Amino acid sequence: MLEFQNITKIYKSKGKEVVGVDNVSLKVNKGDIFGIVGYSGAGKSSLLRCVNLLERPTSGKVLVNGVDLTELSSKDLRTARLKIGMIFQHFYLVSQKTVGENIAFALRAAKLPKNRIDARVDELLDMVGLTDKRDVYPGQLSGGQKQRVGIARALANNPSILLCDEATSALDPKTTLSILRLLKDINKKLGITIVLITHEMDVVKEICNRMAIMQDGRVIEEGEVYDIFASPHEPLTQEFISSVVSFEIPPAILKDVQGEIIKILFKGSVAGEGVIADTMQRFDVKGNFLHGTIEYIQDRPLGIFLMELQGDSQAVKDAKGYMEERGAIVEVISHV
């Protein structure tokens, strides 16, 4: 398990102190995939780099499996870092070395016996789907292939934690999806804990189980990804969610609305049921769909719909009550 306890990181710039991370406490369970989301300058990269003490916290503790890394000697810290792999946005491969040599470098640094290095390199290349690229140089690879080499290198010493610093930001959407699926597969097969930082909610939706939103060095919201998508509380979180699930209704449509506009949220299996159709048949109301979608988060459906309800006030009230009895969450957006 990874735990941040009251982590603060203060930088000094031109004689002034700048707070990069402000008293953050988080727990990441063993084997989880945890996303840290925020805009540039939110403090997410600084926090991530505190895990392996590439950035040493000004105060607070970083515990990995109960051991506070901030209290380790230099020798013990070097040993601990071998169990914390890291992949980066810009890959950082050595261009003069082949793919195999790039991966082998991490193994030699960990003093793995020479007679085991070749076999381990082959194993890692097979894991990331690059068995035919061992003797190729990075300049001959696509961006996605370079990141696969970066992942193989990060996994070389069988880490228990894998840190991903905007690992897909330089990739196109199709390649991003393939890298995320690879990370998810690695997490499942190896049980490795993955912590990734990103500003892309599509990435979080695709791979993460839990997430935290950072703003101005602080965590402002944290929880299960599904629950945060279903009910974001903070304005910044709502802004991030809207980049994936947008419900802007054109003013031209709104001016013609004659009833009550409601937002209907269906969680889990309820999203696949015909609740709205049953409601329209059961009650003397007319429904007009304005917007709607069903998102799949960790294979769980989340249905979100905006619609106009027309009818007398009691019928509309009864219809909303029925939908809530069926498991929907109903929110009134506006009255006419």
Q: Tens of pLDDT along 204-216? A: 999 999 999 999 9
Collapsing DSSP states into helix, strand and coil, what is residue 101? Answer: helix
**Residue 145 near residue 168 (C-beta atoms within 8 A):** no
Query: Which pLDDT belongs to residue 244?
Result: 82
d(C-alpha 42, C-alpha 240), whole Å: 14
Query: Which pLDDT belongs to residue 197?
Result: 93
CA atoms within 13 A on the CB side of 74: 0
Query: Which pLDDT belongs to residue 296?
Result: 85
Instruction: List, as one string, the DSSP characters of 118-163.
Output: HHHHHHHHHHTT-GGGTT--GGGS-HHHHHHHHHHHHTTT--SEEE
Residue entry with tokens 């979100």: 304
> Which residue from 173, 212, 209 is spatially nearest to 193, judged by alpha carbons?
209
Give how far Cα 96 sits from Cα of 134, 140, 165, 259, Å. 14, 12, 24, 67
> Quick count: other Cβ atoms within 10 Å of Cβ 211?
26
> Quick count: other Cβ atoms within 10 Å of Cβ 138?
20
Using 50 as the pLDDT threshold, list the residues of the chain that sit under it.
none
What tokens does 246 get?
């947008």
Question: CA 329 from chain center: how many Å?
Answer: 25
Query: Which pLDDT belongs to residue 273?
Result: 67
Collapsing DSSP states into helix, strand and coil, what is residue 35? Answer: strand
d(C-alpha 264, C-alpha 204), whole Å: 23
CA atoms within 13 A on the CB side of 250: 3
Average pLDDT of the chain is 89
Residue ranges of domains in the chain, CATH in brackets: 2-242 (3.40.50.300), 251-334 (3.30.70.260)
How is the chain split among helix, strand and coil, in percent rounded to 5? 40, 30, 30
What tokens does 51 get?
């895990």
> Which residue from 1, 6, 10 is spatially nearest to 61, judged by alpha carbons?
6
Collapsing DSSP states into helix, strand and coil, what is residue 203? Answer: helix
Q: What are phi and psi of 148, to 5 degrees?
A: -65, -40
d(C-alpha 160, C-alpha 165), whole Å: 17
**Residue 69 near residue 63 (C-beta atoms within 8 A):** yes
